[in-house]
Amino acid sequence: MNRRDFLASSTLTLAIPDVFSAVDRKPVVGLHVWVYSSDKPAYDCFPVLDQVFADAKYAGIEAVELMEVNVRHDDAVDRIGDSSQKSGVAVIGASYSQPMWDKSKQTEILDDAEMVVGRLSKLGGRTLGISVGNTPKKKTPEQFDVQAETLKQIQAICRKNKVVPNLHNHIYEVADDLYDLQNTLQRVPDIALGPDLDWLFQAKVDVLTFLQKFSDKIVYLHLRDHLWTGTRSEALGEGIADWGAVARQLKKNRFAGDITVELAFPPGFKPTRPIRESLKMSRDVIRQKFGV
């Protein structure tokens, strides 16, 4: 899917709240819930979603990207919808991670995807950031074939629900000269990308080159900052990432997708400030560097 198709798919009328409906809009700035989830059982921040949406509102962030575990609760649509309505902050979508390469789990994954994407659509979400799952050794051609088949069926589920699937990366997808990603794209050439720029850095992939190479496929971005050591900083602007250079490359690409802040702290790290303040600082950097 190219940028034009993504924009066409994004002109939905959302009930809570309507921040995505304009065709000629600026990118929506969201937050991913990982920083609220990393210390929770099963990485599920569902019990504190009111706080997540309130913090987004405080920070000037327009939307929240959930994790699939949040949406699996029986009362997810009502509870999350209520948090969104009270805060005036939209649900932009969810991240979704499964072992797409595992044939024995394919039916289970597709049934789960049908449920997650259906509920996400009811919440007004329109993006699904897919992680395909890692293996102990490099995936075989047969595993890539299964992975591709699973992704194509998830694409069909997403089309039915007017949700845009995109490949989200960690290190394993882009290591070894993009081995996993390239094999996936050879088999599913029409799938969009939603890269995490910090994971690209951690994998020693040149971020600007990646943005240029895949400019016609990138519809979504995850941003996080880091030190030279690779340790993540508390907020955007406190590390070494050159956001000005990233913004200039996106302008050259005529990038028309959305931008999400995904803070992540090292194990055992004790934040020096409330998370909402780090989100506000990050939002200010995006406003200053990206003009949105």
Q: Tell me: pLDDT of 9 over 60.
A: no
pLDDT computed for residue 268 by the predictor: 85
Show Cβ contacts of residue 158 under 8 Å, excluding neighbours closer than 6 positions: 117, 128, 164, 165
- Mean pLDDT (the chain) is 92
Band (82; pLDDT cuts 50, 70, 90): very high
Query: What does the alpha-carbon distance between residue 155 and residue 86 come to, in Å, rounded to a whole number?
Result: 32
The whole domain housing 16 covers 3-290
Residues 259-280: what's their mean pLDDT? 94
| Each residue's pLDDT tens digit, 94-151 | 999 999 999 999 999 999 999 999 999 999 999 999 999 999 999 999 999 999 999 9
Give the model confidence (pLDDT) of 187-211 as tens digits: 999 999 999 999 999 999 999 999 9
- What digits encode the pLDDT tens for the residues 10-69? 433 333 444 444 445 578 999 999 999 999 999 999 999 999 999 999 999 999 999 999
- Asked if 129 and 92 touch (Cβ cutoff 8 Å), the reply is no
Least confident of 70-79, 184-193, 266-275: 266-275
Q: Where do we find the tokens 């996993």? A: 180
**Residue, of 61 and 6, whose pLDDT is higher:** 61
Alpha-carbon torsion (52, 53, 54, 55), positive or negative? positive
Predicted local confidence at residue 16, as pLDDT: 40
> Is the pLDDT at 290 greater than 60, yes or no?
yes
- Are 290 and 27 within 8 A, CB to CB? yes
Proportion of the chain above pLDDT 90, given as a percent: 86
The answer on pLDDT for 215 being more than 90 is yes
Range scoring the smallest mean pLDDT among 5-9, 13-17, 120-124, 233-237: 13-17
What is the model's pLDDT at position 25?
58
pTM of the full structure: 0.90
pLDDT of residue 151: 98
CATH number for the domain including 286? 3.20.20.150
With pLDDT > 70 as the criterion, what percentage of the chain qualifies?
Answer: 91
User: What is the predicted pLDDT for the residue at 17?
Assistant: 42
Q: Which of 7-11, 55-59, 230-234 has the lowest mean pLDDT?
A: 7-11
